[in-house]
Every structure is written in C-alpha cells, then in structure tokens.
Amino acid sequence: MVSNFLNSIKNNSLFFKMFLVMVVSIVAVSVLITFTMIRVSERLFIDTFSLGNAKVMEQVTTDFEALSYSLVSVSNQVQQSGYVKNYLTDERSDPIELAKAAHRIKLQMDRYVTMIDQEGINIVLFGENGRVYSTNYVNWPVSADRLKKDRITFNSYKEPNRILYQYDPKKIDHDINQEETIVTSKALIENSTDRIYGVMYIAIRERDFKQLYTRYTGNGNNVLLLNQSGMVVSSSDESIAGQKFQELLQDVKGMEGHHHTYKQVEVLGENYLLFSEYLPTFDMYLVNLIDRESVMSNLLDTKMIAMISAVIVMIALCIVFLISRRLTKSLSSLVKQISNMSQKNFDSYIVESGSYETRQLSKAFNNMLDELHDYVQKLIDTQKKQRNAELEALQQQINPHFLYNTLASVKFMVQNGDKEKSAQTINALISLLQNTIGNISETNTVEQELNNIKNYVYINQIRYGDSIKVHYFVSPECLPFELPKLILQPFIENAFFHGFNRKKEGYIQLMILQKDEQLICEINDNGDGMEEKTINRKSKRKLFSGIGIRNVQERIQLIYGNRYGVNVASQIGEGTRVTVRLPVIKSKDNTNL
C-alpha cells in the first residue's frame, strides 16, 4: 500500500508539487492577510490614539514653556540687579552693613519667588566672595563649600551665557536630607569685563516639578524629561529618575525631522509606544512612554479572525485541488519539454500542443525566446555604444589647469629665449591632445600609448624638473598590441604627484611584456609608498584626464572580464608597484605579426 502511494506520487509529481505550492501559498496568503488586518487595525487605533495624545503633549509643552519663561525672566532680573552684584562681590564684613545688604536681598528675592508660579522652589545666590543666600533652605539644602565643588556650578562656569537645567540626585547624610531636585543655574556676568562674579540657582524639588505633567499620566502611561546626555531628569515613575537611557535618547533623536508621531521602542525589557517633544528652552526632550500591551489588550478578537481564515483556506484548497488535477497531464508534457532543453541554449523551441493553457504557455515561451534573442543583441550593441560614449566624454574632460600651466611654462620659456625647448613642449602637447581628444578610438597600440606617456612625462619634467627619472622597458614585439586607451597614464600621473611628497628624487619604471598570452604592464617607483586607504583616496584625484585610477579596474573588467585587471602593491618608504594584466590583442593593422 505504501509502495503504491509512493509510485502514485512519482508518476504525478507535477500535480503533487503544484498542489503543495498552492497549499503553502494559500496558507501563507491567509496568514499574511490575517496578520496584516490585525496590524492595520492596531495601526488605525494607535494613530487615532496618538492624535489625542499629541494634544496632551502640546498642553504639557505649553506648561513647561510658561515655567521656562518665568525662570528666564527671574534670571534676567537677577543679572541686572545692582543689589545682587554688590552682595556677591562686596568683601566688607561690617555686621550692620551685612544686615542691611541681607535685608535688601531678601526683599528682592521674595519678589522674584512670587514671579515663579511653582511650589517647592528655592532661589540660591552664590558669589565670588563666598556668600550664599537661599530663599528656602529646606527645599534645597546646600552650603558654600558644596557649591564650590558641585558639577552644577562647574557647568555654569563652563557655559556662562546659557541657562542650564540640571538634575541633582537625592542625598542623605547626618547633616542633609535632600530630595531629587531640578536646578536651573545661570552664571552672573559683569557686562563691562565679562567677569563671572557669582551663580544663581533656582531649585525645584522633583516631586513638585513633575506636577506639571502627572495629571496626564496613569497606569502604563509614563512621562519623563530626558536631557542631552540621556539622563532622566524627571519622571512620573520614580524608579527611573536619575538613570541614563542612551538607546532611548537615540530613538527620540531619530524621530526629529520626521513626520512620525510615535515609535515602538523597548525600555527595560518592556514594549512601549514612544511620543516625544523637544523643549528648546530646556534643551531637553519631553517623552511619553505608553505600555503597548495595555493599549492593545482589548482591541481585537484574534481567535474569531483565525477561525474565519481557517475556513476560507479549506474552501480554497478544495477548489485548487480540482483545478490543478485537470491541468496536471498537459503541464507535465510541457515541463518535460522545457526540462530537456540544455542550459543557456536559447534556440530550443518547444512544440505547441496539449490543452489551451499549455498551448498558450508554449507559444508565449517561444515568443519569449525570440524577444530574448533581440534583446541580447540590442544589449550588446548598447553596451558597445555606451563604452565608446563614456570614453569620448572622458576624453573631453582634460583638466584646464594642466593646459593653463603647460601654456604658462611655454610662455616663460619663450620670454627667456629658449625657443627650442618651448617648441618641443608645444609639439608634445599637440601630440598628446591629438591622441586624447582628436582620436575617439576605444583602443591604442602599445606604441601609441607609450608615445602619449612620453609626451606627458616630458611636459611634467619641463614644468617641475627632472628630479624624477622615468625609464621605459618595452618588449619590441608588444608595440603593435592593442590596449584600452589612457589605461596606463593615470598610474604614471599618480606616481608623479603622490609618490614623491617626502622624497625629492627617484625614478619611475614602465615595463611592458608578454607572458602566457597576457600583456603585462608594470609601473614601479621608489617613492614614499602608501597605505591601502591612501590609495583609494588618491585615486579620486584627476590631474590630467577624467579617467581616474579607480575606474581603470572597472573598464578592464567590463571589456575583457574578471580574469584581467589591476593589482596595486605598496610599502611605506619603499615605493609602489602597479601591475595591469590585459589579453594579447594584435592591432588590425598588424595582423601579419
């Protein structure tokens, strides 16, 4: 019985394969549609939820901006107060004068306190003379010794022109029982000399500070303030206040400049919906984290959706079974003909027979082969035209500075009466331009390329001197061989202008020979040498032509295949060796060689 079943599968393998594919496809599509429907419903609900939450965030932001405005106003008035300046800079110790100054400061500071509509605040002044004044010591118990060493003071001195919002953690010892505090600090500067004569601190207890937003929070809904270092300055969840969350900071910054109103993130192993708003006056981020599971718990009846999807899948499978069974016989014949075709043999047409569907498939397949033949031929012609066009365009990109400098050198030689050398330079330039701009052929003979290089070297030695010698070692039988145009000149150019920055003298050798049906072109120098990253960087510079070193490899492999190309070896202090491998192609004008 088992053997009969296995034989049935073997004889009807096409049917079983088609049916299996259909089963997998239908199940996959059903699961995908179900999953997509659930996700779309979730997304729709979250988008609707985010609109309402965005309005809450706007209201909280408005409250923060109002608080910031009052803090800035108080900071400006303290900065402009002459009483404050005298109190923090006066070195006199007369008790009566000190009492008067303290009274005046108290009247002013009490008025400043009323300007800030916030509970639990303490305005503290700390001067260069060591004096400290505090409006409510209980809310932020600090001493002069502590303020001198505190990072809050250090940061204020470091950025004297900014109002800083900093977090001061909870401290408990035998003298102080301090709660978590948000401290607004500003260095007090003398306008005429820019000298810092003190620091003003406006301290707000964190439990009073978070009253600005706690009325909008609840179970699974947390609001927190995140500074630029990733520290939680204030939070409705006391357990995370004072902690640093670098990944959360990156997520928040990633939302800036985008239109996303929310983002799904993971914090402390839990999934949250992230809403954020940047508070420019505080230079901090207002972050709202909402527990995703609590939002989605009652959104959809997934069991009912899964049951409906399963019924639809069963019905679809029955229909597919009946249809695929009818197509099996004719399709098997078609598959057999196609499978007998040799690989990459595009001339094997199939017989158009069988059912209507298979005849149409056969006809379409044969038409496809015809179109493929036309397409391949067009592609070959297009690539050839593209290579010619690219080469022609690159040949027109002769660097104007090369021409300007060469002509300037000729002018200088003419003015100095060196007519023979100036004439030779002009002849070299004319020959070089004729072979680069005038000749649009994609290839040159080795002899032509060698003449171009010699002209280029001659012009550079006229301009810069002959401290860098160039030697040519070319096998005579290689002269009629063809190679891509301007394929060697970039390496000579690179050796001239990058190989001798430290060394002032040296040599460059160009060797061309035939080895094992390959044309080997090697450019050696005894210059400075360079690292791999320097090779990649310098290859971008184009001094004479638009053809850089980097695209030489691409040109060679595009024309001749991956077997050929460029290899660069360099060692610091010893020089560089460039090896170019090309196929041996004899010039059409020298086929008898």
Residue-wise pLDDT for 37-95, tens only, equals 777 777 776 666 666 677 777 888 888 888 888 888 999 989 888 888 888 888 877 78
pLDDT band at 198 (very low <50, low <70, confident <90, very high): very high
Rounded mean pLDDT, 95-123: 85
Q: Is the pLDDT of residue 580 over 90?
A: yes
Q: How many Cβ atoms sit within 10 Å of the Cβ of residue 39?
A: 10
**Distance separating alpha carbons of residues 289 and 116, to the nearest angstrom:** 29
Judged against a pLDDT cut of 50, whether residue 543 lies above it is answered with: no
* Residue 187 clears pLDDT 90, i.e. is over it: yes
Burial class (CB in 10 A: 0-12, 13-18, 19+), 206: buried
pLDDT-derived band at 592 (thresholds 50, 70, 90) equals: very low
Residue 216: CB atoms within 10 Å: 16
* Averaged pLDDT, 349-368: 75
396-590 in CATH: which number?
A: 3.30.565.10
* Mean pLDDT score, 381-407: 62
Q: Give the pLDDT mean for 94-106.
A: 83
Domain borders along the chain are 81-210, 341-391, 396-590
pLDDT of residue 172: 66
Residue 397 has pLDDT above 70, yes or no: no
Helix-, strand-, coil-residue percentages of the chain, each rounded to 5? 55, 20, 25
Q: Which residue has the higher pLDDT, 323 or 226?
A: 226
The CATH number of the domain covering residues in 81-210: 3.30.450.20
Q: What percent of the chain has pLDDT over 90?
A: 11
Q: Pick the residue with more confidence: 322 or 318?
A: 318
Residue 299 clears pLDDT 60, i.e. is over it: no
Structural contact between residues 481 and 517, judged by C-beta atoms closer than 8 angstroms: no
CA dihedral 93, 95, 98, 104 (to 10 degrees): -170
If we measure between CA atoms, which residue out of 466, 563, 469 comes closest to residue 517?
563
Q: Are strands 232-235 and 181-190 parallel, antiparallel or unpaired?
A: unpaired
Which residues on neighbouring strands pair with residue 234, listed in sequence order? Answer: 225
200: number of CA atoms within 13 Å, CB side?
A: 27
384: tokens are: 């050839």
Task: Read off the amino acid at residue 261.
Answer: T
Q: Write out the DSSP string of 443-496.
A: EEEHHHHHHHHHHHHHHHHHHH-SSEEEEEEE-GGGTTBEEETTSSHHHHHHHH
Give the distance from CA 417 to its chain's centroid. 57
pLDDT band per the 50, 70, 90 thresholds, residue 548: low
| CA–CA separation, 311 and 322 (whole Å) | 18
Give dist(CA 244, CA 120) in Å, integer: 25
pLDDT at residue 333, as a whole number: 67
